[in-house]
Amino acid sequence: MNRVQEPFALYVHIPYCAKKCPYCDFNSYATESQAGSLEEEARYTRALITELQHFAAKESWAGRKISTVFFGGGTPSLFSAGAISEILEAANELFPFVENAEVTLEANPGSLQEELALERLRGFRQGGVNRISLGAQSFSDRKLKLLGRLHSAEDTRRALALVKESGFRNMSLDLIFAVPDETPEEWQHDLDQALSFPLNHISAYGLTIEPGTEFYKREKRGGFFALDEEVQEVLFRQAQSELARAGFCQYEISNYAKAEYECRHNLAYWRGMDYLGIGAGAHSYLGVPRARLAENDFSLYGQRWINLLNPRTYCISVEENGNSVQRSEEIDRDKALLEFFFLGFRTQEGISSERFSGLFKDSLETRYADTLKELKDFEIIEKKENSWALSARGRIMLDSVLERFACS
Ligand code: SF4
């Protein structure tokens, strides 16, 4: 199959939030009002569709199908059902969706408290969204307050009930652990609460302090104390065992799913598939056609680009040029190698020997014989049928494993 026939993943970035959270380093901007300005929503929606049309006219994307769509943010659930439906309709017209395409929308519990929330959720569903990912973060009001979230644990419970009532059967929940002063008991309460709802996917992220965030500034001033690594590890292992007990498989370092409910969109990233990102600050990746690698042309592995970050500047650029690419980079063999390990080791399926030889015309087992042996002897990685993956123990050592391969 050449690339022109291969489906791709579509990411749609909605950069608006009711308030900027102090730990957030995503490309998101606080809106004046809960729903944002309707005028802004309409202009941004038009820009997204123009951007889709721009890429539909490009040889690399024309005629291809969409396998998954992910509305991320920001807070996509601040947008109206009409705007989300309009974007999906335009995408489907330009790049027909594969059968059973996964269409996810990220929602914030705080954005689903108003009277018409149920109607809006039903509208998302009618427009083609079939999976909701709810940014709960915690069921502890202490943690939510510390994280600067506007919603309460009760708001999350209400939002989950509404999502269910509106007919969604594919629901995911985001949780954050390792916030200051968090104990295993508090984390257990989060896990128990999450498991009391009919979820089929849970993302559990350890809190990280990213440069440029409010937490980063507080940490620099000495007024913020992150949990030490040993406690973080205890909480990570707790999530692993509790979620496994409840039938969730850890298919990626921070992601757990019931069988058949892995997020196909994220798997596309980790498997190195092409993805088109539209919207302010969205990233895209386009690999070179496999035929070129088969012909031993290894000069270029792919191209990645990022859009302008600011939503207004993004809109102006798309209105003038059809796109808003801010910068792009070419992926050469060295970068492709690093990405192969970085993305592959995140997942339960791991790095495939066959894929390695297809991409790099080399044998993984020969080229990295010593490294593979050493990591296997320390039970950090495991050999699967035709691949290598991090062991349960190794999943908290991803950075060290990558360093080891980079130096080999
Ligand atoms: S709601 Fe999410 S995207 Fe928005 S500021 Fe908070 S963490 Fe960032």
CATH superfamily of 3-267: Aldolase class I (3.20.20.70)
Distance CA 105, CA 88 (A): 11
- Whether 108 is in the pocket of ligand 1, judged by its Cβ within 6 Å, is yes
pLDDT of residue 33: 46
| Cα–ligand 1 centroid distance for 17 (angstroms) | 6
Q: How far apart are CA 105 and CA 126, in angstroms?
A: 13
Q: Do residues 353 and 344 lie in contact, with contact meaning Cβ atoms separated by under 8 Å?
A: no
Burial class (CB in 10 A: 0-12, 13-18, 19+), 75: buried
- Tens digit of each residue's pLDDT, the chain (408 residues): 455 578 999 999 999 999 999 999 999 999 854 445 788 999 999 999 999 999 999 999 999 999 999 999 999 999 999 999 999 999 999 999 999 999 999 999 999 988 889 999 999 999 999 999 999 999 999 999 999 999 999 999 999 999 999 999 999 999 999 999 999 999 999 999 999 999 999 999 999 999 999 999 988 888 777 788 899 999 999 999 999 999 999 999 999 999 999 999 999 999 999 999 999 999 999 998 765 665 666 678 899 999 999 999 999 999 999 999 999 999 998 999 999 999 999 999 999 999 999 888 899 999 999 999 999 999 999 999 889 999 988 988 898 999 999 888
Protein residue whose Cα sits closest to atom 2 of ligand 1: 74
Q: What share of the chain is helix, strand, coil (3-state, %, to 5)?
A: 45, 20, 35
Q: How far is the CA of 150 from the centre of ligand 1 (A)?
A: 10
Q: Where are the alpha helices (DSSP H) in 5-58?
A: 38-56
How far is residue 290's CA from residue 299's CA, in Å, rounded to a whole number? 13
Pairing type for strands 29-30 and 275-278 reads unpaired
Cα 121 to Cα 130, 152, 164, 346, distances in angstroms: 11, 20, 10, 32
Could you say which DSSP state residue 301 is in?
-
Taking the C-alpha atoms of residue 22 and residue 148, their distance in angstroms, rounded to an integer, is 6
Task: Decide if 307 contacts 27 (C-beta within 8 A).
Answer: no
> Which residue has the CA at smallest separation from atom 8 of ligand 1?
24
Domain ranges of the chain: 3-267, 355-408
pTM: 0.94
Give the ligand 1 atom nearest the CA of 110: 1
- Radius of gyration over alpha carbons of the chain, in Å? 21
Which pLDDT belongs to residue 32?
58
Regarding the beta carbon of 24 and ligand 1, being less than 6 Å apart is answered yes
> What count of other Cβ atoms lies within 10 Å of the Cβ of residue 6?
15
Count Cβ atoms within 10 A of the Cβ of residue 296 and give its class: 0-12 exposed, 13-18 middle, 19 or more buried.
Answer: exposed
Report how far residue 106's alpha carbon sits from residue 301's, in angstroms, rounded to the nearest whole number. Answer: 31
Q: Rounded to the nearest whole angstrom, what is the distance from the C-alpha of residue 242 to the centroid of ligand 1?
A: 27
- Measured from the Cα of 148, ligand 1's closest atom is 6
pLDDT of residue 48: 98
Residue whose CA lies nearest to ligand 1 atom number 7:
24
Identify the pLDDT of residue 34: 41
Ligand 1 binding pocket mutation candidate from 13, 14, 23, 24 (most atoms within 8 A of CB): 24
| Calculated CA dihedral for residues 179, 183, 189, 190, nearest 10 degrees | 20
